[in-house]
């Protein structure tokens, strides 16, 4: 009997404790198996956007984060329900508890974050704006 080919899950699981770990979210590469064409920097930027838009709103606690662009895990919790996170305690596993322990995000929602990141606004006064003004005038 042949094993059935495993189909990729339509969701990605985000362990919320990863926000307290310098190596969390698989060292910032949690999304790499799903988006192998993205660079490490782009993966970490996408990870931060997904956490901001889809993980934080689903938590039972109010969690504030900071984004550290060059870090392995770019997303770190700074406050939980208004209480400052003390890093040496959080990294040792004695930091605040956040529930749920896992937030499941659809790949469709992740792709939406990626698409929105690609649609960067054109700065005012750019060549495109000047061409549009010339054509209108």
- Domain residue limits, the chain: 11-136
Classify residue 9 as left (phi > 0), alpha (psi -120 to 50) or beta: beta
Residue pLDDT, tens place only, 8-37: 578 999 999 899 888 889 988 999 999 999
Residue pLDDT, tens place only, 61-79: 999 999 998 788 899 999 9
From CA 3, how far away is CA 9, in angstroms rounded? 17
Alpha-helical runs (H) found in the chain: 24-27, 40-50, 87-91, 107-118, 127-136
């Amino acid at each position: 009997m042949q094993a059935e080919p495993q189909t990729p899950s339509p969701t990605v699981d985000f362990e919320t404790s990863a926000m307290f770990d310098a190596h969390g979210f698989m060292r910032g590469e949690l999304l790499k198996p799903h988006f192998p064409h993205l660079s490490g920097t782009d993966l970490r930027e996408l990870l931060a956007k997904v956490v901001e838009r889809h993980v934080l709103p689903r938590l039972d606690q109010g969690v504030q984060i900071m984004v550290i662009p060059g870090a392995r895990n770019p997303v770190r919790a700074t406050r939980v329900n208004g209480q400052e996170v003390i890093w040496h305690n959080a990294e040792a596993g004695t930091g605040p508890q956040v529930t749920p322990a896992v937030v499941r995000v659809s790949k469709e929602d992740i792709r939406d974050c990626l698409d929105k990141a690609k649609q960067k606004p054109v700065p005012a006064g750019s060549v495109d704006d000047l061409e549009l003004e010339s054509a209108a005038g």
